[in-house]
Structure 1
Amino acid sequence: MNFDKLQEEWNNSNDSKIAVPPDVKKMQEAHTPIDEVRKNMRRECYIQFFCLVLMGFAPVIFNFPSQLTTVFICTYGMAVAFTLYYFYKFFKFYKHSYDLSFDSRKNLLWFYYELKLNIELYKALTYILFFIGFAFGVLAYTILKNNGITVKDADFLMLFEKKVYVIIAIIIIMALSFAGAEYWPQYYYGKHLKKIKSVLDQLDEQE
Structure 2
Amino acid sequence: MNFDELQKQWDNQSSEKVKIGNDLDIKTEANTVIDKVRKTLKKDFFFQITTFPILLLFPYYFDMNNQLIWWIVICYCATLIIPFTYIFRFYKRSYRLEYSSLKNINWFYYNYKSSIDVYSIYTYVLCILMIMFVGIVYIQKNTFIHFESPLLLYVYIVSILVIYVVFCIWILKWWINQFYKKPLVELEKILNQLDE
Fold match by TM threshold 0.5: yes
Using the aligned pairs only, state the percent identity. 29
TM-score scaled to structure 1, two decimals? 0.74
Query: What is the CA–CA distance in structure 1 between the aligned matches of 2:117 and 2:102, rounded to whole Å?
Result: 23
1:58 aligns to 2:37 (yes or no): no
Residue 58 (structure 1) shift: 1.3
Q: Which of these two proteins has the greater Rg computed from alpha carbons?
A: 2
Q: Partners of 2:107 and 2:171 in 1: how far apart?
A: 25
Partner of 1:186: 177
Name stretches of at least 5 consecutive residues in structure 1 with no aligned partner.
1-15, 152-162
1:173 equivalent to 2:182? Answer no
How many angstroms apart in 2 are the aligned matches of 1:99 and 1:131? 36
The answer to whether residue 111 in structure 2 is matched with residue 120 in structure 1 is no
Q: TM-score, normalised by structure 2?
A: 0.78
The answer for the alignment partner of 2:45 in structure 1 is 45
Counterpart amino acid of residue 173 in structure 2: E
CA contact (8 A) 1:126 1:180 kept: no
Query: In the alignment, which residue of structure 1 is the partner of 2:67?
Result: 70
Is the contact made by 2:69 and 2:133 (CA closer than 8 Å) also made in structure 1?
A: yes
Structure 2 gaps, min length 5: 1-14, 145-152
Residues 60 and 143 (structure 1), Cα distance of their counterparts in 2 relative to 1, 3 Å cut: closer
Task: Please report how far the alpha carbon of residue 169 of structure 1 lies from its aligned counterpart in structure 2 after TM superposition.
Answer: 5.2
Cα deviations by residue, 1:162-201 (Å, 9 ceiling, x for unpaired): x798777545432331023333112211000111110100
The equivalent residue for 2:84 is 87
Query: Match of 2:28?
Result: 28
User: Conserved in 2, the CA contact under 8 Å of 1:72 and 1:136?
Assistant: yes
User: Residues 22 and 174 (structure 1 numbering): CA distance in 2 closer, same or farther, change over 3 Å?
Assistant: same
Question: What's the counterpart of residue 130 of structure 1?
Answer: 127
Aligned 8 A contact 2:64 2:137 in 1: no
The total of aligned residue pairs comes to: 174
SS of corresponding position for 2:141: helix
C-alpha displacement of 1:65? 3.8
Asked whether the equivalents of residues 71 and 140 of structure 1 are also in contact (C-alpha less than 8 Å), the reply is no
Counterpart-to-counterpart distance in 1, 2:29 and 2:93: 20
Report if the CA contact (8 A) 1:86-1:121 is conserved. yes
- For residues 56 and 175 of structure 1, what CA distance do their matches in structure 2 show? 25
Letter in 2 for 1:185: I
Q: Which moved more, 1:52-61 or 1:184-193?
A: 52-61
User: What is the rounded CA distance, in whole Å, between the counterparts of 1:72 and 1:56 in structure 2?
Assistant: 10
Is it true that 1:105 corresponds to 2:102 in the alignment? Answer: yes
